[in-house]
Amino acid sequence: MGVLLVVLLVVIILVLASCIKIVPQAYAYVVERLGAYQGTWSVGLHLKMPIIDKVAKKINLKEQVVDFAPQPVITKDNVTMRIDTVVFFQITDPKLFAYGVENPIMAIENLTATTLRNVIGEMELDQTLTSREIINTKMRASLDEATDPWGIKVNRVELKNIIPPAEIQNAMEKQMKAERERREAVTRAEGEKKAAILEAEGKKASAILGAEAEKQSAILRAEAQKEKMIREAEGEAEAILKVQQANADGIRMIREAGADEAVLRIKSLEAFAKAADGKATKIIVPSEIQGVAGLAASLKEIVTEK
């Protein structure tokens, strides 16, 4: 009897322990009572009725990512390509997610494929390749609206890869190669043009600098020549002044020595001859000096005889 009570007590403890549930962060539990929806448990500690209550579904509330395989689609200009998509979604209503659709992931995949075909079917190939953002926006809006009854919110849809046919890829590669060659030729031509312009500007600047330097050099040479002529003229004037001063001093000394008028005239004649410096071919002698010429010759003879 005691053993039976112990066993019964252990069973009760185990049952009670099974009724204690802890919901972790970012999860929600959908609870059913006798097969009917009872409620949704959020994060924390919860107790359920033994036997009649059960946790029907554990829902992950974090944002989830689903990468779907490439889907064949046809563009408006009848080009078949393959596109694979990535869908980012999050469960916002655990009850709707648990009871809204049997297989939510498969439902989202099929809905994504049909929506993608509808969107791409309205575009041509070139527009499809250059309008990813437009396609993503249209698909997100359509999927979000369609999955709302399932308690799912589609946050973002991205086109992962767009794979056109092989012949289209070859044509695109040739076009890209031609475009790169064209850009290279344009860039090279622009570079040569800029180089020619810079070279011409350099020659122009060099010529201007050369002309300016020549002008400055000519100005300096002219100033040097001018300075030289001024100094020579000043030197000659100073020499003439010194000669005249020396003559004046000589005449003054002769006067002080008591020389007569004839001697003074002879000294004046000698000074006049020195002023000519032997360079003049014709000398104009004043009349008062001409009368003394004979006297000067006579004095010279007397001096010679002595």
Asked whether residue 193 carries a pLDDT value surpassing 70, the answer given is yes
Sheet containing strand 36-41, edge to edge, reads 36-41, 27-33, 53-60
pLDDT interval class at 296 (50, 70, 90): very low
Asked, for residue 213, whether it belongs to a domain, the answer is no
β-strand 27-33 against 36-41: which pairing, if any? antiparallel
From 195, 136, 130, select the one nearest 160 (Cα to Cα).
Answer: 136
- Same domain, yes or no: 47 and 94: no
Top pLDDT among 84 and 1 is at 84
At 304 the pLDDT is 44
Asked, for residue 176, whether it belongs to a domain, the answer is no
Q: How far is CA 135 from CA 49, 106, 107, 128, 132, in A?
A: 50, 21, 20, 8, 5
Asked whether residue 303 carries a pLDDT value surpassing 50, the answer given is no
- Same domain, yes or no: 160 and 230: no
| Count of domains for the chain | 3
- Same domain, yes or no: 56 and 71: no
Asked whether residue 273 carries a pLDDT value surpassing 60, the answer given is no
**pLDDT tens digits, residue range 127-160?**
888 888 999 999 999 999 999 999 999 999 999 8
pLDDT interval class at 1 (50, 70, 90): low
- Same domain, yes or no: 80 and 148: yes
- Same domain, yes or no: 154 and 239: no
Instruction: List all residues 6 or more positions away from 255 whose beta carbon is below 8 Å from its beta carbon.
Output: 264
- Same domain, yes or no: 160 and 68: yes
Asked, for residue 179, whether it belongs to a domain, the answer is no
Asked, for residue 91, whether it belongs to a domain, the answer is yes
pLDDT interval class at 302 (50, 70, 90): very low
Name the domain boundary from 17, 32, 60.
60
Asked, for residue 75, whether it belongs to a domain, the answer is yes
* Alpha helices in the chain, H assignment, sequence order: 2-19, 94-100, 104-120, 125-130, 132-147, 166-257, 261-276, 287-290, 293-305
**pLDDT tens digits, residue range 244-265?**
787 777 667 766 766 555 555 6
Asked, for residue 21, whether it belongs to a domain, the answer is yes
At 41 the pLDDT is 92
pLDDT interval class at 299 (50, 70, 90): very low
Asked, for residue 136, whether it belongs to a domain, the answer is yes
Name the residue range of residue 48's domain. Answer: 2-60
Name the domain boundary from 12, 32, 60.
60
Share of the chain above pLDDT 90, in %: 26
Residue 73 belongs to domain with CATH number? 3.30.479.30
At 305 the pLDDT is 43
- Same domain, yes or no: 69 and 159: yes
**Tally of CA atoms within 13 A in the half-sphere of 53 that contains its CB:** 18
